[in-house]
């Protein structure tokens, strides 16, 4: 029997605004957490087992994996390692093709780097020519997300290869693959040929471990070394280290969630067609929907009915757009019913 038959609702409403797995983690994760002993909690955590399990899952040697407290910590560590200004030198630059995960912008500012934004195409296809034109001798990082957040659109892997060959010596291309499980493709197999590329992965989305904060960076040991020095010692806790090993031992649970995500996306596409809403076909566990002048009506109406969806209108190229999580089918059906109610309600 599927563990997703009757998934619980979380908190005080249905959270479809954070791209979380609202069905939760594998029961094996809960069992692993319950089995933690007092001495394990009392000691600093060992990481060999978690690192080995992740390396096997991703198909790389263990020395190419660096565990992080959520992928966010890995992105901050990379920014600190690459974007801190040096006295007497030009300010390091980070290129961010928009729209993008807002953490790229925040971390660039915190590290002291200069943000170089590349504006999106109308169809959200990857602006390779524009990104290449933005590269300067001061470029130190190009931040990419594949599939993109918030659009759900994938970029060609060839574009990553082109950028890796086009950045200055000492610069890095970072590929955020938070949603790679849903897309079914990764740049990881190309890393041996592109040592200046680092891939970031998280187990918050497909694996339902967002509350435990576990992710990793993948890359050449030499490339990862300066980033590792910016990561606090023992930042990944013992519960997260135990949980990821249990989660990776139950891939059937993940595959069932991926199946539901695929069905949910199609259900939402059909609903948008009925409601006259534009959308972009997604390769993640969410869909970007353009409601135009009906955006506030839809977001506020859904909120009033206990369903949270995220207004992304302030993102470049996303005016009038809403990001809606598409995971558990039962939850997607409820969201669609609420959308229909909200849009059909009297203004």
pLDDT tens for 264-315 read 999 999 999 999 999 999 999 999 999 999 999 999 999 999 999 999 999 9
Residue 95's alpha-carbon distances to 114, 224, 313, in angstroms, are: 9, 20, 22
pLDDT tens for 7-48 read 444 457 899 999 999 999 999 999 999 999 999 999 999 999
User: Is residue 94 pLDDT above 70, yes or no?
Assistant: yes
Q: Which residues of 50-71 are buried (b: 16+ CB within 10 A; e: fewer)?
A: bbebbbebbebeeebbbbbbbb
Residue 217 bridge partners (DSSP):
66, 200
Whole-number pLDDT of residue 6 = 43
What percentage of the chain exceeds 70 in pLDDT?
A: 96
Whole-number pLDDT of residue 12 = 72
User: Is residue 3 pLDDT above 80, yes or no?
Assistant: no
User: Is residue 91 pLDDT above 60, yes or no?
Assistant: yes
Radius of gyration in angstroms for the set of CA atoms belonging to the chain, rounded to a whole number: 20
Whole-number pLDDT of residue 345 = 75
Whole-number pLDDT of residue 117 = 98
Question: What are the tokens at 336?
Answer: 């669609």
Whether residue 285 contacts residue 178, with contact meaning beta carbons closer than 8 Å, is answered with no
Whole-number pLDDT of residue 2 = 42
Long-range contacts: 45-48, Cβ < 8 Å, 24+?
45/234, 45/236, 45/237, 45/238, 45/241, 46/241, 47/236, 47/241
User: Is residue 253 pLDDT above 80, yes or no?
Assistant: yes
| Gap between the Cα atoms of 221 and 48, Å rounded | 16
- Secondary structure element (H or E) that encloses residue 251, with its range: helix 251-275
Whole-number pLDDT of residue 7 = 43
């Amino acid at each position: 029997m599927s563990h997703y038959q009757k998934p619980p609702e979380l908190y005080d409403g249905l959270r479809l605004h954070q791209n979380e797995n609202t069905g939760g983690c594998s029961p094996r994760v809960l069992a692993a957490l319950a089995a933690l002993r007092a001495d394990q909690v009392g000691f600093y955590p060992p990481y060999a087992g978690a690192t080995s399990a992740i390396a096997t899952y991703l198909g790389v040697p263990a020395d190419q994996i660096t565990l992080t407290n959520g992928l966010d910590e890995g992105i901050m560590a990379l920014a600190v390692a690459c974007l801190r200004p040096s006295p007497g030198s030009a300010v390091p630059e980070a290129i961010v093709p928009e729209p993008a995960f807002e953490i790229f912008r925040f971390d660039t500012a915190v590290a002291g780097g200069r943000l170089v934004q590349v504006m999106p195409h109308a169809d959200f296809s990857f602006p390779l020519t524009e990104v290449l034109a933005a590269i300067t001798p001061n470029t130190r990082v190009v931040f990419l997300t594949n599939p993109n957040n918030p659009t759900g659109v994938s970029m060609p892997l060839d574009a990553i290869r082109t950028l890796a060959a086009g950045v200055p010596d000492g610069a890095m291309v970072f590929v955020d693959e938070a949603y790679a499980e849903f897309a079914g493709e990764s740049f990881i197999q190309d890393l041996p040929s592109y040592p200046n590329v680092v891939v970031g992965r998280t187990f918050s989305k497909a694996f339902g471990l967002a509350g435990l904060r576990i992710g990793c960076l993948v890359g050449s040991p030499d490339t990862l070394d300066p980033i590792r020095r910016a990561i606090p010692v023992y930042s990944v806790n013992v519960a997260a280290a135990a949980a990821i090993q249990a989660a990776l031992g139950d891939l059937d649970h993940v595959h069932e969630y991926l199946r539901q995500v695929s069905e949910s996306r199609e259900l939402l596409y059909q609903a948008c067609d009925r409601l006259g809403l534009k959308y972009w076909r997604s390769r993640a566990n969410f869909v970007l929907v353009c409601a135009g002048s009906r955006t506030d009506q839809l977001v506020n109406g859904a909120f009033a009915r206990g369903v949270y969806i995220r207004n992304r209108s302030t993102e470049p190229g996303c005016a009038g757009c809403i990001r809606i999580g598409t995971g558990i089918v039962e939850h997607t059906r409820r969201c669609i019913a609420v959308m229909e109610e909200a849009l059909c309600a009297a203004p």
